[in-house]
Structures are given as structure tokens and as C-alpha cells.
Amino acid sequence: MFKVMIHPADYDTVRPAVDRAFELFPIQIAGKKVLIKPNVLRSSKAAEGIVTHPAVLRAVVEKVEQMNAASIVVGDNPGLFDYGANEKSFKETGLMDAAKGYYQNIGNESQTVAFNPAFMPTVSLSKAVFEADIIISLPKFKTHGLTVITGAIKNSYGFLPGAQKARLHKIAGTPQRFHEMVVDVFRLRVPELFIVDAVVGMEGNGPASPDLRDIGLILASDNAVAMDAVIAAMMGLEPNRLRFLQKAKEIGLGECDLDKIEVIGALKKLPDFKIPPLGGEAIMENDAIQEMLHNKTLPRPYADPDLCTACGACIEQCPVTALSMNGDIPEVDADTCIICFCCQEICPEKAIALQ
């Protein structure tokens, strides 16, 4: 049976939860090359809740140090806005200090591997991913406009360095196909352990929403599908209806039926948890309804004039050139927009909302 740990914690007392995770999911670390991968979406302050909190990373690094790893690498490939600013993202978030000298810019060297030809014949992943004997993934408990939740499976999307993330968004084209592609990236190298920062989570229009939620938990599992099923249930979603969990289960990556997951701790639904507007659409199984909704009724992004500084970052990063400046505010061409939410993800002012 798959197991998921739910353990109380705050950022001053993360270590007991991390110790418990290693007890419940023992891995042979001594003599092994270990890659620790936090979620470093972009440069931001730790208190904004956009990235894995430095206290969680530090606790895991110190634990792995004590277990006599042969080598430790801490790294991630930040999202669209910070392709070329890997080091800056780690410094600004406080994750550089928490990495205790083990930080590496894993975007510098990549390795090309076969991918799903329905999307692209090959992709490049950070070489560090393939060099590691053990990968410990440290997702953040957050919502995501396109995948509804961003947890254990989605954290591996950061194995892709550079502009491939945006290219794949464009190639996927629909939310359903994006769900499936995220699983195809994940399966290229499945991490051994997942420790989720749910001390402070994010709700609403994630993955860079201003709506934070005090949850006070660290979650852990050695199975990403079970882990994400528990996150989904905590958010009030039915895990079996999320397309990326369906696909991960179909191809044998794990189990998202809560009856088949042993939860060690108290699994409680978070009251009135705000999921992204797209959440309902993304979990429908019917292809025809998906396409109809995609074409006719999906929310489209718009820039809030009270927050937008007209920096142009969203326009520059839109993978299908759906945004252009109208006076001093970006406007979206609804017919061109593929609803990838890259603009929302990169906006430094959190000015992109949905209508």
C-alpha cells in the first residue's frame, strides 16, 4: 500500500517532520550522489510563499549531510521569468543560504533524451538529474492555473532547463494535453522521496498568487501520485478526476484512490479552500466538453491596471504572442491565447488576473 505522511510543523521546527519522513520512507543515502530539488519558481521573497521555504530545504540538507552522502547538489531551473537568473533566484529567496554551499546551477549542463513524439521527439533535462543516485523533491503546497495543483509530479517540470517549458506549453495547446505532458516529463526520472512544504500553502490563482494559507504541515511520501492525491483531497478536490493523476495511475506510476493510500497522520480537507477558476474544467474527462469549454468559456488573463507597471515581461514571455501593449496596459488576444498562464506566473506585480 502507498503511504503518505502528514506531520505538524512550523518553519522553526521543521526538522522533526523531516526526520520522521526519513524514518517512514528509508533510503540508503550513505555513499550516494544526492540531488535535492526545491520548487524555485522565480526570484521572490520567501514570505511570498511562491517557492519552497528555505527552512525546509535547510532541514533536508542537514539531514542528508548527516547520512553521509557521497555528494549533495541543490538545484532547480526557475520558470519563465528567471531562465537566465538561476543564482539570483536562489539568493533572493534565501534558498542559496539554506543550500549550505551545495547549490549548483543545474541549468548549465543538460542531456537530451527521447520524449513523447505526440509532443516533441526529444527534450533536454538537467544533467544533474541523470547523475544523481537519489533525488529528493521538495514541492510547495500550491494551486496552479493549469494543473489545478502543483505538488510532487509538477515539481519535476523544473528538471527542464531554459525555454523548453514555454515551448512545451505551446505544443500542448490544451489544458488536458498539458496535464498529460507534465506526467511524461515526470516519468523520465522519478525521484525517490517527496517532502512537501505545506507549512504555508497557496490557494487561489497559483502558482504565484497573493493568497497564502497557514496549514502548518509537512507532507511526505515515496510515491508522487499518492502524495498529490492527498494534496488534492486537502484542497477539496476529487483526486481521481484530475487528468494528470489519472494518466500517472494508468501508466503505473502510483495510486490516487484514497482508499488505497495509507495516511500516517490526520488528513483533513481545508475549509473553503480556493482553487483556480480553471480547476473545474481541467478535471472533466469528456474530450468534447474539454474542447468546447476551451474554445468558448475559459477564463482569459487580463492585466489589473491598478497593479500593472507596464514592464512588458508578460508580453515578452507569452509563448504564442497573444499579448500586446494597448497604451500602457497589456491586452490579450483571446483567439490566440492558449491559456498557459505563463503571463500570470511571471508577472512580478501579481497583476495578471482571470476574467
Q: How big is the chain, counted in residues?
A: 355
Binding of ligand SF4 by 338 (CB under 6 A): yes
CB-based contact 227:182 (threshold 8 Å): no
Largest CA distance in the chain: 59
Binding of ligand SF4 by 351 (CB under 6 A): yes
Measured CA to CA, the distance from residue 210 to residue 93 in angstroms comes to 16
What minimum distance in Å lies between the beta carbon of 318 and ligand SF4? 3
Residue 28, judged by CB atoms within 10 A of its CB (0-12, 13-18, 19+), counts as exposed
What minimum distance in Å lies between the beta carbon of 172 and ligand SF4? 11
Binding of ligand SF4 by 303 (CB under 6 A): yes
Starting at the edge strand found earlier in the chain, the sheet holding 134-138 runs 71-74, 33-38, 134-138, 193-202, 212-221, 2-8, 261-264
What minimum distance in Å lies between the beta carbon of 178 and ligand SF4? 11
Per-residue interface string for the shown chain with ligand SF4, residues 305-324, x marking contact by CB under 6 A: ---xxxxxxx---x-x-xx-
Measured CA to CA, the distance from residue 35 to residue 222 in angstroms comes to 15
Binding of ligand SF4 by 50 (CB under 6 A): no
Answer for which of 120, 337, 353, 354 binds ligand SF4 (CB under 6 A) is 337
CB-based contact 332:301 (threshold 8 Å): yes
What minimum distance in Å lies between the beta carbon of 338 and ligand SF4? 5
Mind giving me the DSSP string for 27-86? ---BT-EEEEEE---SS--GGG-SS--HHHHHHHHHHHHHTTBSEEEE-----GGGTT-H
Query: Smaller CB distance to ligand SF4: residue 224 or 323?
Result: 323
Binding of ligand SF4 by 280 (CB under 6 A): no
Binding of ligand SF4 by 172 (CB under 6 A): no
* 354 backbone φψ class: left, alpha, beta (φ>0; ψ -120 to 50): beta
Query: Smaller CB distance to ligand SF4: residue 19 or 349?
Result: 349
Binding of ligand SF4 by 27 (CB under 6 A): no
Binding of ligand SF4 by 342 (CB under 6 A): yes
Query: Smaller CB distance to ligand SF4: residue 50 or 343?
Result: 343
Measured CA to CA, the distance from residue 192 to residue 202 in angstroms comes to 25
Query: Smaller CB distance to ligand SF4: residue 29 or 314?
Result: 314
Answer for which of 343, 353, 354, 355 binds ligand SF4 (CB under 6 A) is 343
Q: Which of 35, 123, 31 is nearest to 74 (CA)?
A: 35
Answer for which of 132, 208, 263, 332 binds ligand SF4 (CB under 6 A) is 332
What minimum distance in Å lies between the beta carbon of 118 and ligand SF4? 20
Centre a 10 Å sphere on the Cβ of residue 299 and count the other Cβ atoms it contains.
15
What minimum distance in Å lies between the beta carbon of 295 and ligand SF4? 14
| Strand partners for 323 | 332
Binding of ligand SF4 by 21 (CB under 6 A): no
Query: Smaller CB distance to ligand SF4: residue 90 or 341?
Result: 341
Query: Smaller CB distance to ligand SF4: residue 68 or 309?
Result: 309
Residues in contact with ligand SF4 by CB under 6 A are 301, 303, 308-314, 318, 320, 322-323, 330, 332, 337-343, 347, 349, 351-352
